[in-house]
Structure 1
């Protein structure tokens, strides 16, 4: 097993780990970031510098699941993405994306596919059994510096083709994104290598 492969002990029912983006296996998301108002300088840095994620799944005293994701971007920029799986809309002022309205829940593969076919593709047997993390977000143009865009994401684990002979289990994010400046919806896959358990 490769040091960058996610252990089978980590699933969508049990994940507290650190991951690092694999730029070679991930889609380019420049047009998405541009539509979200991200500056050329930051977008250029993101092209060449892998993002690190610290991911922690836990259940609160009321039995509601939470997925906290801390992102470390180039130039030391940090962005926290706390997700509460009760599918209630919440407003947030993101240091990266500005004013955002978002909600999250756990979904089955079939439910993800119904939202958008791309979101339900390619997941491993653990995700078939345990479900995926789903996050919906949109920009809030009613607020200062808010832009109009809409994002659907699924998070989970998948066997990703590394080369002609090898596949590795990775942490994967699938994104379906729309914005007025884009002629059609954009489908992107972000792939992350395993770094360590715990954060």
Structure 2
């Protein structure tokens, strides 16, 4: 097993770990970031700097699942994404994306496919058994500096072809994104290498 392959002990129900984006295996998201109002300087830095993810899944005192994701970005930026898996809409202001309205929940692969077929593709057996985490977000143009865009994401694990002969289990985010500045919706796959279990 490669040092960057995600152990089978890490699943969508046991998801406290650190990952690093694999730029070679991930889609470019430059057009997405541009539609979200991210500057050319930051987008250029992001092209060449791997993004680190520190993910903590836990249940709070009210017995509600929470998924905290700290994204360590280029140019000294850090994006904190607290997700509560109860599918309630919540408003927040992201230091990177500005005003955002978002909600999250668990879904089956079939449910993800019904939202958008791309979101349900390619997941491993652990996701078939335990499901995916689905996150919906949109920009809030009614707020200062808010832009209009809409994002659907699924989080889980997949066997990814890393070279001609080998596949490895990776943490994967699938994204379907729309915005008025884009001619059509775009589909992106982000692939992350395993760094360590726990925080």
TM-score of the superposition, structure 2-length normalised? 0.99
In 2: Cα distance, 1:13 partner to 1:64 partner: 13
In 2: Cα distance, 1:11 partner to 1:191 partner: 15
SS at match of 1:181: coil
1:101 offset after TM fit, Å?
Answer: 0.2
1:63 offset after TM fit, Å?
Answer: 1.5
Q: Does residue 1:74 correspond to 2:66, yes or no?
A: no
**Alignment map for 1:103-118 (pairs within 5 Å):** 103-118=103-118
Q: Which stretch shows the higher mean deviation, 22-31 or 68-77?
A: 68-77
Aligned CA RMSD, in angstroms, stands at 0.5
1:164 offset after TM fit, Å?
Answer: 1.3
Q: Residues 87-116 of structure 1: CA distance to partner in whole angstroms, max 9, x if unpaired?
A: 000001000000000000000000000000
**Alignment map for 1:128-167 (pairs within 5 Å):** 128-167=128-167
In 1: Cα distance, 2:140 partner to 2:7 partner: 38
**Alignment map for 1:14-33 (pairs within 5 Å):** 14-33=14-33
In 2: Cα distance, 1:163 partner to 1:53 partner: 23
5+ unaligned residues in a row in structure 2: which ranges?
none
**1:124 matched to which residue of 2?**
124
SS at match of 1:44: helix
**2:8 matched to which residue of 1?**
8
In 1: Cα distance, 2:98 partner to 2:75 partner: 18
Equivalent residue pairs, number: 199
